[in-house]
């Protein structure tokens, strides 16, 4: 396990080598080297998982190890930012998911991006992203987490704006960056609050925690390490000494601020607006970054800080509320969108909502929701990546994102069709595919922790998910070809089909992994099917599929009639509840006009004026100093003597 | 007095340099002045061996030679840094000397002797030994500065340096004599103990402190004793300037820390304010004067004055952390300034320019010569003090030490000055990347320069991103 650093390390070195040396020589080699690096990294991730679970066994909560770390920046005692690798069940889970999906997406991209301008640049960024994401996953402290958090943000920005000659792609990149940066402001303030009280608490409880941690970490624990922040004694200290803000405990405020960062990265309402636009990036990027890995970073961080969230109480209610709302909100919008990637994007939002609400309903004594959330993260990564990659194969074949340009593709793209169907069944929660099991766990968590409303909404959305997913499935694969291009569509090359098949197998079978056993949070609860929940959930899914089949396999009149019957409501949903327009109105008419403009005036006249004055003064001083440099030793000596005399006088004056 | 084997091993790096210098002279004689590459090789190897000897001495702490030499981490660290400076100067000199048509074998032995002087200075535990080291270093430098015998500017620079240097030595020596008269000893430790017992200053002590301060102010080139440095830096062969602005300056600063920061610390309240003012005036003078230069060498000379101002802040702050910060800054500064000069020297050999170090020679070089462009950019960013370079952390450590000890004004002055400095450093980058190249952009690309540029820029980024080992070392070894 000492080699854990290789998992993020290999993509990092590959990023440097590919970016600096291979890319200029051969674009083609760049793709293969970058891909190979991820496969090697995945191999190490698997071997770490194997080592860990064969060493510590399963069925109980495994320890959090820091087998490798070094001091990076020392601020003061107990406040040193380290760089290291944290190995515990959830970081292993994420390492496995990220390396697997990333490796397959790299492989797929070799085919998908072939012949594109900037092929080497693409793979360089993809490596950078993989490194950053893995660095985030293994972060043992909140500073490394934040640094990598921003690095994934940058890689996402670079890849969304990959087609930088296309104005909409550039705008989408900027939008994603600005929205998430805004959210990260909350995250940063949250970190500062935790760090401040952590360093205050350290002298009281640090020694005790250090003793408990003995042997687990290779270097002494710091106040910003997760092991310290999450310790019950730390939460207790902050809760009892730090007072309250607006009726909330300081710990709760810090957690809610950190959750703001999570909501930005995981695109929770109302910060979700960047994710649908992010689909401007190449499709494999959407699969990797905006479906399977980066967007789950927010869920992961909440899971990582779960003990603190649970100790503070209120933040989990916020998480549950936002998660449930986003889950339903996005699913409703997904029913009306026509761009296949946008439907998948809203579907991602909805599924992330599931993960968040599962965390929100969990408590310290009954952490079933925590397990369920991680389980859903695990299965979702595979079937959603598959959906995107299959959609990529469709787009590759039809050269259009619009589902109405497709149709009848099941015969022309048989492999894509079958894999897409597998993923669609998985996300719809049809047993025994993977999505069924993880959704079942989430619903069970909501019931067992007495959240009937959350359960009701989640059940409804399960049906809705099946409906909108089969909607795009029927429209693109069934019926007749609706465009010239769809008639001449062709299957993708093998290098793209292999990842599709691999992911399809994972999407089908990943549900059989006894996640509760690995995470050690099952508390004796047997991993299995709970018929009282599974039957209604499956029924909801089947109703959704049936409804979808009724509406979209028949004639066009049927759904047009339904849309007309819904009238204004349909238009509102189709326009995504006008959230983007509200943002635009607020930023343009209120912020720009009443806040930004006065600030701009102040900046242009007062601040710039002061700077110009400063520059003018320095310039004038320079002109004044120039004659002093005469080049004559006599002048210099005169200055010298006066200086020496001056020294003596000053020293003397101090004396008297 | 008796010397043991420990004493001999303690000064092994110095002894190796003595042997190197003598060997280099003999090799040069043997080559009959035709080809000095063998001499260069001997010198470079000497620096490497001496550097290894210095590093292997890490960890041994004590005094040697009956209390005349400090055997501490600061000595060790700076011996190693001086060897690195000497080594890099030696390997990038031949191409320059060839370009300038200077075919003198004594260049290398003089360089070695000068580094030897620097080592003696930083190790010295009493004022007299320090003075001997200072003279060894200075006299070698006088000759090195005027080595370009056919160039009147070089001769003039050497002459000026000699006259002003003699002036400074006289002041310094008089100060030492008066200090001896007051304290009755020239050992740093005795001086500390004397003033600890009686921190009042009599007229004689004031004169001693003032004269010593004058001498140091000359060596580190601060206001109002800085005028010589610009003329000398401009007139001297560029490799010598690169060397002078890094090594001897660092050596003088280390001794300054030992004498004023430690030995005279009990009476610090008398000279702190004075030194603060010198620091501020020096920064302002250096930066403001650098703004209007059209000659890169002069610009770097003024920038070097400004940096002496920043470094003084660390000495004024005056605690352990501040000295460690100053040590880090000195190391970082040596790397970036040496790099900047190395890059400028190579730029100046661009075809079609007259070798007069005008800014115009930089135009459009960034894209034509990626290695040169990137490394010079790194050096400039580091001199400005932007992350993730070593220069940023050096400033950060020094200024935060100043804030911690309550010298807020100094920190603010340092920051304001850094803003001014941005202007002239950025101009270099702007000219390289944003100006259209004029005429022929081919420049020679000798291997030693490539090595120097790569080594220095990698080191600057490395200790800028991972400062922990260096700053920990400095905290551990600072007096």
The complex scores an ipTM of 0.82
Across the interface, whether the CB atoms of B160 and A652 are under 8 A apart is answered no
pLDDT score at B355: 67
Count, in order, helices (H) and strands (E) of chain A. Answer: 30, 4
Across the interface, whether the CB atoms of B224 and A633 are under 8 A apart is answered no
Q: Does B270 touch chain A (CB under 8 A)?
A: yes
Measured CA to CA in angstroms, residue A82 lies from A66, A138, A454, B457, B462 at distances of 11, 12, 39, 24, 16
**B406, B402, B222: which is closest to B322 by C-alpha?**
B402
Across the interface, whether the CB atoms of B224 and A643 are under 8 A apart is answered yes
Among the partner residues B164, B419, B472, nearest to A633 by beta-carbon distance: B164
Query: Alpha-carbon distance B132 to B119, whole Å?
Result: 11
Half-sphere exposure of B277 (CA within 13 A, CB side): 10
pLDDT score at A136: 93
Among the partner residues B164, B210, B230, nearest to A647 by beta-carbon distance: B210
Query: Alpha-carbon distance B30 to B214, whole Å?
Result: 43
Give A651's contacts in chain B (Cβ within 8 Å): 201, 206, 209-210, 270-271, 274
**B148, B139, B17, B8: which is closest to B82 by C-alpha?**
B17
Give A652's contacts in chain B (Cβ within 8 Å): 203, 206
Measured CA to CA in angstroms, residue A586 lies from A208, A264, A269 at distances of 50, 18, 16
Neighbours of A612 (CB within 10 A): 10
Q: Does A643 touch chain B (CB under 8 A)?
A: yes
Most confident of the following: A63-77, A402-416, B25-39, B43-57 = B43-57
**Average pLDDT of chain B to the nearest whole number:** 88
A577 burial via Cβ count (<10 Å: 0-12, 13-18, 19+): middle
Cis amide leading into A506 (omega within 30): no
Question: Which residues have CB under 8 Å from B144's CB, separation 6+?
Answer: B107, B110, B111, B114, B236, B237, B240, B243
Query: Alpha-carbon distance B233 to B297, whole Å?
Result: 7
pLDDT score at B60: 63
Give A650's contacts in chain B (Cβ within 8 Å): 273-274
pLDDT score at B352: 64
pLDDT score at B456: 92
Residue of B nearest to A621 (CA): B288
Name the DSSP letter for residue A278: G
Residue of B nearest to A73 (CA): B468
Cα dihedral A425, A427, A428, A430 sign: positive
Q: What is the pTM of this model?
A: 0.74
Give A637's contacts in chain B (Cβ within 8 Å): 164, 167
Query: Alpha-carbon distance B206 to B347, whole Å?
Result: 48
Name the DSSP letter for residue A409: T
DSSP secondary structure of A620-653: HHHHHHGGG----HHHHHHHHHHHHHHHHHHHHH
Give B203's contacts in chain A (Cβ within 8 Å): 652
- Residue A247 parent element (H or E): none
Per-residue model confidence as pLDDT tens digits over B399-434: 999 998 989 999 999 998 998 899 899 999 998 888
**B340, B150, B176, B155: which is closest to B243 by C-alpha?**
B340
Measured CA to CA in angstroms, residue A525 lies from A444, A455, A533 at distances of 12, 20, 15
Low-confidence ranges of chain A (pLDDT < 70): 520-529, 654-656
Among the partner residues B206, B227, B466, nearest to A655 by beta-carbon distance: B206
Query: Alpha-carbon distance A348 to B303, whole Å?
Result: 55
Across the interface, whether the CB atoms of B288 and A621 are under 8 A apart is answered yes
Per-residue model confidence as pLDDT tens digits over B112-125: 999 999 999 999 99
Mean pLDDT for B377-393 is 92
Question: Which residues have CB under 8 Å from A388's CB, separation 6+?
Answer: A283, A284, A286, A287, A291, A341, A344
Q: Does A631 touch chain B (CB under 8 A)?
A: yes
Query: Alpha-carbon distance A386 to A389, whole Å?
Result: 5
Q: Does A619 touch chain B (CB under 8 A)?
A: yes
Beta strand pairing status for A248-249 and B62-64?
Answer: unpaired
Q: Does B160 touch chain A (CB under 8 A)?
A: yes
Q: Does B207 touch chain A (CB under 8 A)?
A: yes
Cis amide leading into A356 (omega within 30): no
Query: Alpha-carbon distance B65 to A655, whole Å?
Result: 37
Q: Does B213 touch chain A (CB under 8 A)?
A: yes
Backbone φ, ψ for residue A75 (5° rounding):
-95, -55
Residue A84 near residue A219 (C-beta atoms within 8 A) = yes
Query: Alpha-carbon distance A521 to A303, whole Å?
Result: 13
- Residue A69 parent element (H or E): strand A65-76
Residue A540 near residue A462 (C-beta atoms within 8 A) = yes
Name the DSSP letter for residue A273: T
Q: Does A182 touch chain B (CB under 8 A)?
A: no
**HEC readout, chain B:** CCCCHHHHHHCHHHHHHHHHHHHHHHHHHHCCCCCCHHHHHHHHHHHHHHHHHHHHCCCCCEEEHHHCEEECHHHHHHHHHHHHHHHHHHHHHHHHHHHCCCCCCCHHHHHHHHHHHHHHHHHECEHHHHHHHHHHHHHHHHHHHCCCCCCHHHHHHHHHHHHHHHHHHHHHHHHHHHHHHHHCCCEHHHHHHHHHHCCCCCHHHHHHHHHHHHHHHHHCCCCCCCHHHHHHHHHCCHHHHHHHHHHHHHHHHHHHHHHHHHHCHHHHHHHHHHHHHHHHHHHHHHHHHHHCCCEHHHHHHHHHHHHHHHHHHHHHHCCHHHHHHHHHHHHHHHHHHHHHHHHHHHHCCCCCCCCCCEHHHHCCHHHHCHHHHHHHHHHHHHHHCCCCCHHHHHHHHHHHHHHHCCCHHHHHHHHHHHHHHHHHHHHHHHHHHHCCCCCCCCCCCCHHHHHHHHHHHHHHHHHHHCCHHHHHHHHHHCC
pLDDT score at A270: 85
Among the partner residues A622, A637, A651, nearest to B270 by beta-carbon distance: A651
Q: Does B392 touch chain A (CB under 8 A)?
A: no
Across the interface, whether the CB atoms of B289 and A625 are under 8 A apart is answered yes
pLDDT score at B175: 93
Across the interface, whether the CB atoms of A651 and B210 are under 8 A apart is answered yes
Name the DSSP letter for residue A510: G
pLDDT score at A526: 47
pLDDT score at B363: 85
* Gap from B210 CA to chain A (nearest CA, Å): 6
Residue of A nearest to B472 (CA): A74
Instruction: Say how far residue B134 (Cα) sits from the centre of its chain.
Output: 13
Q: Which of A77, A613, A633 best tests the B interface by mutation, with the highest count of B CBs <10 A?
A: A633
């Amino acid at each position: 396990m000492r080699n854990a650093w290789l998992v993020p390390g290999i993509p990092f070195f590959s990023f440097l080598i590919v970016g600096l040396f291979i890319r200029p020589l051969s674009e083609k080699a760049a793709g293969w080297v970058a891909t190979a690096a991820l496969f090697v990294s995945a191999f190490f991730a698997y071997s770490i998982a194997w080592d860990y679970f064969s060493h510590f066994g399963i069925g109980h909560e495994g320890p959090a190890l820091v087998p490798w770390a070094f001091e990076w920046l020392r601020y003061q005692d107990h406040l040193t930012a380290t760089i290291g690798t944290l190995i515990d069940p959830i970081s292993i889970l994420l390492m496995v998911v990220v390396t697997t999906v990333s490796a397959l997406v790299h492989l797929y991209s070799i085919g998908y991006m072939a012949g594109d301008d900037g092929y080497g640049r693409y793979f360089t960024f993809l490596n950078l992203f993989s490194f950053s994401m893995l660095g985030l996953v293994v972060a043992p402290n909140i500073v490394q987490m934040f640094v990598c958090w921003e690095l994934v943000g940058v890689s996402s920005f670079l890849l969304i704006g990959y087609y930088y000659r296309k104005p909409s792609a550039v705008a989408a990149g900027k939008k994603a960056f600005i929205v998430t940066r805004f959210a990260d402001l909350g995250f940063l303030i949250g970190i500062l609050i935790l760090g401040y009280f952590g360093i205050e608490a350290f002298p009281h409880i640090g020694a005790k925690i250090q003793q408990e941690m003995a042997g687990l970490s290779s270097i002494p624990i710091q106040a910003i390490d997760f092991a310290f922040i999450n310790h019950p004694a730390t939460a207790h200290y902050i809760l009892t000494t730090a007072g309250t803000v607006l009726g909330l405990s300081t710990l709760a405020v810090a957690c809610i601020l950190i959750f703001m960062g999570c909501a930005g990265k995981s695109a929770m309402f109302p910060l979700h607006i960047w994710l649908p636009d992010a689909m401007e990036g190449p499709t494999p990027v959407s699969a990797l970054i905006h479906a399977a890995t980066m967007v789950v970073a927010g869920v992961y961080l909440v899971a990582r800080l779960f003990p603190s969230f649970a100790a503070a109480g209120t933040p989990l209610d916020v998480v549950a509320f936002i998660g449930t709302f986003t889950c339903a909100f996005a699913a409703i919008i997904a029913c009306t969108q026509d761009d296949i990637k946008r439907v998948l994007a809203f579907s991602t939002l909805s599924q992330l909502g599931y993960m968040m609400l599962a965390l929100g309903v969990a408590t310290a004594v009954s952490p079933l929701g925590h397990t369920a959330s991680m389980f859903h993260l695990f299965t979702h990564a595979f079937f959603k990546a598959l959906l995107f990659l299959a959609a990529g194969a469709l787009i590759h074949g039809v050269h259009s994102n619009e589902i109405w340009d497709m149709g009848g593709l099941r015969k022309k793209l048989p492999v894509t069709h079958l894999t897409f169907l597998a993923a669609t069944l998985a996300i719809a929660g049809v047993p025994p595919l993977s999505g069924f099991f993880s959704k079942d766990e989430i619903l069970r968590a909501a019931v067992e922790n007495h959240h009937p409303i959350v359960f009701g909404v989640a059940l409804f959305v399960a049906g809705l998910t099946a409906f909108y997913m089969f909607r795009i499935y029927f429209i693109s694969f069934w019926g007749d070809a609706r465009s010239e291009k769809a008639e001449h569509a062709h299957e993708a090359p093998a290098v793209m089909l292999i990842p599709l098949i691999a992911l399809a197998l994972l999407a089908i079978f990943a549900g059989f992994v006894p996640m509760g056993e690995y995470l050690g949070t099952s508390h004796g609860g047997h991993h299995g099917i709970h018929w009282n929940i599974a039957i209604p959930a499956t029924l909801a899914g089947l109703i959704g599929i049936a409804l979808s089949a009724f509406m979209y396999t028949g004639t066009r009149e049927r759904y047009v009639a339904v849309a007309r019957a819904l009238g204004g409501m349909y238009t509102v949903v189709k326009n995504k509840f006008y959230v983007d327009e509200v943002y635009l109105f607020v930023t343009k008419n209120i912020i720009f006009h009443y806040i930004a403009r006065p600030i701009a005036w102040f900046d242009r006249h007062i601040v710039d004026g002061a700077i110009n004055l400063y520059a003018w003064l320095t310039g004038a001083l320079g002109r004044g100093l120039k004659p002093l440099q005469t080049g004559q030793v006599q002048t210099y000596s005169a200055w010298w003597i006066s200086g020496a005399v001056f020294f003596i006088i000053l020293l003397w004056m101090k004396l008297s | 007095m008796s010397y043991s084997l420990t004493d001999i091993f303690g000064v092994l790096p110095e002894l190796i340099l003595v042997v190197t210098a003598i060997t280099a002279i003999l090799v040069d004689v043997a080559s009959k002045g035709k080809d000095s590459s063998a001499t260069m090789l001997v010198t470079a190897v000497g620096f490497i061996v001496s550097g290894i000897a210095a590093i292997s001495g890490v960890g041994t702490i004590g005094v040697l030679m009956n209390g005349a030499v400090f055997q501490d981490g600061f000595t060790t660290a700076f011996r190693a840094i001086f060897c690195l400076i000497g080594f890099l100067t030696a390997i990038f000199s031949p191409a320059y000397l060839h370009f300038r048509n200077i075919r003198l074998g004594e260049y290398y032995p003089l360089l070695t002797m000068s580094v030897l002087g620097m080592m003696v200075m930083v190790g010295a535990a009493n004022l007299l030994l320090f003075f001997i080291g200072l003279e060894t270093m200075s006299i070698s430098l006088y000759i090195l500065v005027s080595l370009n015998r056919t160039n009147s500017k070089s001769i003039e620079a050497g002459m000026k340096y000699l006259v002003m240097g003699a002036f400074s030595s006289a002041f310094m020596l008089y100060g030492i004599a008066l200090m001896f008269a007051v304290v009755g000893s020239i050992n740093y430790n005795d001086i500390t103990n004397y003033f600890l017992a009686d921190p009042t200053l009599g007229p004689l002590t004031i004169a001693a402190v003032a004269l010593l301060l004058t001498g140091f102010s000359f060596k580190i080139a601060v206001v109002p004793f800085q005028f010589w440095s610009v003329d000398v830096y401009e007139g001297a062969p560029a490799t010598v300037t690169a060397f002078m602005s890094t090594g001897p300056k660092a050596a003088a600063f280390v001794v300054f820390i030992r004498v004023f920061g430690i030995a005279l610390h009990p009476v610090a309240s008398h000279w702190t304010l004075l030194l603060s003012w010198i620091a501020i005036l020096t920064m302002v003078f250096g930066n403001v004067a650098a703004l209007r230069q059209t000659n890169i060498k002069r610009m770097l000379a003024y920038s070097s004055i400004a940096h002496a101002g920043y470094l003084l802040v660390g000495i004024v702050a005056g605690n352990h952390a501040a000295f460690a910060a100053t040590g880090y800054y000195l190391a970082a500064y040596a790397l970036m300034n040496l790099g900047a000069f190395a890059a400028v020297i190579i730029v100046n050999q661009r075809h079609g320019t007259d070798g007069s170090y005008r800014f115009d020679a930089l135009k459009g070089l960034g894209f034509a010569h990626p290695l040169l462009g990137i490394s010079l950019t790194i050096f400039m960013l580091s001199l400005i003090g932007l992350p993730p370079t070593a220069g940023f952390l050096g400033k950060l450590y020094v200024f935060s030490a100043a804030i911690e000890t309550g010298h807020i004004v100094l920190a603010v002055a340092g920051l304001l000055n850094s803003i001014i400095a941005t202007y002239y450093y950025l101009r270099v980058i702007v000219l390289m990347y944003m100006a259209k190249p004029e005429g022929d952009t081919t420049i020679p690309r000798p291997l030693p320069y490539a090595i120097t540029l790569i080594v220095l820029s990698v080191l600057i980024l490395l200790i800028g991103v991972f400062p922990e080992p260096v700053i920990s070392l400095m905290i551990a070894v600072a007096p």
